[in-house]
């Protein structure tokens, strides 16, 4: 770990000003559970930290009106326990509950959660591994290496690192919107546009400029979130990243599917919406057979690596089970 300067601005404006003035080697820190971890591994080596925990503008959960607003500094644990989330969006609450550990959830913020970095071991553990994300141009050790936990959707020749988070998978199923503020003012972007597929520039995870801060997450009120689940399969019963996960939500009208959302975790470089699987269900009954078919469709087009092809079958089953659980809540 390198020495660094530290600033703790009191409001959003001065935080942005500090960021804008500081330049490249600056990172903002919320809960620190991703950032400090990577700093200890010498993967992140910022010369300056801007601590945003003093920004009141980023706090609070607002459940009034026609959308749900979650401040970027809301702790994972607090959001997971929020009664409106539990009632209207069980998939959001479950995605948080099933992530990390209670200690981490007490510390970690929602904004930081969205921007957590990949668990790819070649990325995290530095020299001697080739890794384009950590060291652009050095190559990708994972493509021919230990890639059981890597992505078969959204990868490139340069990088196949899986996006590891759970919450963003549930958010993309709910078409959440992210409000960010930077030196050029405020803007909103769909959660689907927040994360970048690696392409030729895997070192850049998100479509944010260095002076931009996530202020809040907005989830439009909808009638599909209530019958939903976040179904996560992992290598142990708790405290592990997803091997495969599915966020599923469904609205049944007159016995057939009127609206359905399916998003996949653990298998893609970014939060992954399985739209063709959704399409296949619209207007049909949801039963074990159609759910299984949707599961199969969700994994069409996968480009499996040496060690992750089992996730095509496993994932299809997980999608099917998630749809059945979600429908059971309708």
Partner 1 sequence: MSRNFYPELVRVDACDKVRGITRFGTDNRPENLAHGAFAVATIGKGRVLSVDTLSAEALPGVLSVITHRDTTSLKPAQFLMAGGYAFQTHSPILTAEVAYRGQPVALVLAETLEIAIEAAALLRIDYEEVAFAATMDSPLAEPVAQAQAPMRYPLEDVSVGDALSAYEGGAVKVDSTYGMERQFQNPMELIGTVASWDGDRLTIHEGTQNAGGCKFGVADQLGISPENVTVISPFIGGGFGQKNSMQSQLVLAAFASRQLGRPVKIVVPRRQLFHDTTSRPATRQRVRLAADREGRLVGALYDVDAQTSKLDFFPAEHADTAARFYGYPAFKSFTRLIRTDIPTPGYMRAPFEHAAAFAIESAMDELSYQLKMDPVELRLRNDTAVDVVSGLPHSSRHVAECLRRGAETFGWSRRNPKPRSMVAANGDLIGMGVAIGLYSGSGGPTRARIIARRDGTVTVNVGIHEMGQGAVTAIINVVAKRLGVQPSAVTAMVGDTSGVPQPLTAGSWGSTSAMPAVEAVCDALMQALAEAGVETSGNVPLGEMVARTGRDEIQTDASSVAPGQDPQVLGRTDTGRVAPAGPVYPGFVTYSYAVHFVEVHVEASTGRIRVPRVVSMFDCGRVLSPRTARSQAIGGVVWGIGGTLREGAETDARYGGVMNGDIAEYLIPVNADIGSIEVGFIDEPDFQVNRSGVKGLGEVVMAGVAPAITNAVYHATETRVRDLPVRLEMLLRSQE
Q: Are 269 and 152 in contact (CB under 8 A)?
A: no
- In the complex with partner 1, the residue whose CB is nearer, 26 or 246, is 246
3-state secondary structure of 82: coil
- In the complex with partner 1, the residue whose CB is nearer, 251 or 311, is 311
The piece of 11-19, 54-62, 139-147, 288-296 that touches ligand SF4 (CB under 6 A) is 139-147
Does position 275 interact with partner 1 (CB under 8 A)? The reply is no
- In the complex with ligand SF4, the residue whose CB is nearer, 160 or 286, is 160
Does position 102 interact with partner 1 (CB under 8 A)? The reply is no
Element (H, E) at 251: strand 244-253
**Interface size with ligand SF4, residues (CB under 6 A):** 15
Of 151, 177, 153, 96, nearest in space to 277 by CA: 153
Tracing tokens 């850049």 back to the chain, one arrives at 204
Does position 122 interact with ligand SF4 (CB under 6 A)? The reply is yes
Cα(202)–Cα(321) distance, integer angstroms:
33
Closest CB 234 distance from ligand FAD, rounded Å:
7
Does position 202 interact with ligand SF4 (CB under 6 A)? The reply is yes
Cα(76)–Cα(131) distance, integer angstroms:
30
Interacting residue with partner 1 among 11, 62, 193, 235 (CB under 8 A)? 235
Does position 116 interact with ligand SF4 (CB under 6 A)? The reply is no
Cα(292)–Cα(130) distance, integer angstroms:
39
With CB under 5 to 8 Å by kind, the binding choice for 18 among ligand SF4, partner 1, ligand FAD, none is: none
Cα(157)–Cα(42) distance, integer angstroms:
25
Cα(77)–Cα(170) distance, integer angstroms:
16
- In the complex with partner 1, the residue whose CB is nearer, 213 or 233, is 233
18 to 57: interface string for ligand SF4, x by CB under 6 A: ----------------------------------------
- In the complex with ligand FAD, the residue whose CB is nearer, 110 or 250, is 110
Element (H, E) at 65: none
Does position 245 interact with ligand FAD (CB under 6 A)? The reply is no
Tracing tokens 């975790």 back to the chain, one arrives at 265
Closest CB 255 distance from partner 1, rounded Å:
24
CA 161, 77, 319, 228 dihedral sign is: negative
């Amino acid at each position: 770990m390198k020495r660094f300067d530290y600033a703790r601005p009191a409001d959003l404006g001065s935080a942005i000003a500090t960021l804008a003035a500081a330049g490249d080697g600056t990172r903002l820190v919320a809960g620190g559970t991703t950032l400090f971890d990577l700093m200890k591994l010498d993967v992140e080596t910022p010369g300056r930290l801007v601590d945003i925990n003093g920004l009141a503008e980023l706090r609070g959960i607002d459940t009034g009106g026609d959308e749900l607003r979650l401040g970027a500094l809301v702790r994972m644990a607090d959001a997971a326990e929020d009664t409106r989330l539990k009632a209207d969006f069980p998939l959001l609450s479950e995605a948080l509950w099933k992530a990390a550990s209670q200690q981490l959830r007490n510390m970690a913020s929602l904004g930081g959660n969205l921007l957590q970095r990949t668990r790819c071991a070649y990325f995290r553990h530095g020299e001697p591994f080739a890794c384009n994300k950590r060291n652009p141009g050095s190559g990708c050790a994972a493509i021919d290496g230990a890639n059981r936990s890597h992505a078969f959707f959204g990868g490139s020749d340069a990088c196949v690192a899986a996006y590891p988070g759970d919450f963003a998978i549930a958010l993309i199923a709910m078409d959440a919107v992210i409000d960010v503020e930077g030196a050029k003012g405020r803007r909103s972007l769909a959660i689907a546009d927040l994360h970048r597929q690696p392409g030729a520039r895997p070192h850049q995870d998100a479509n944010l400029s260095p002076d931009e801060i996530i202020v809040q997450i907005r989830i439009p009120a909808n009638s599909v979130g209530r019958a939903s689940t976040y179904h996560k399969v992992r290598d142990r019963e708790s405290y592990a990243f997803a091997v495969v996960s599915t966020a599923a939500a469904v609205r049944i009208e007159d016995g057939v599917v009127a609206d359905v959302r399916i998003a996949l975790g653990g298998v893609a470089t970014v939060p992954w919406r399985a739209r063709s699987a959704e399409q296949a269900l619209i207007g049909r009954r949801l039963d074990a057979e159609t759910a299984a078919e949707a599961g199969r469709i969700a994994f069409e087009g996968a480009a499996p690596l040496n060690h992750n092809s089992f996730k095509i079958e496993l994932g299809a089953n997980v999608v099917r089970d998630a749809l059945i659980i979600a429908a059971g809540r309708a």
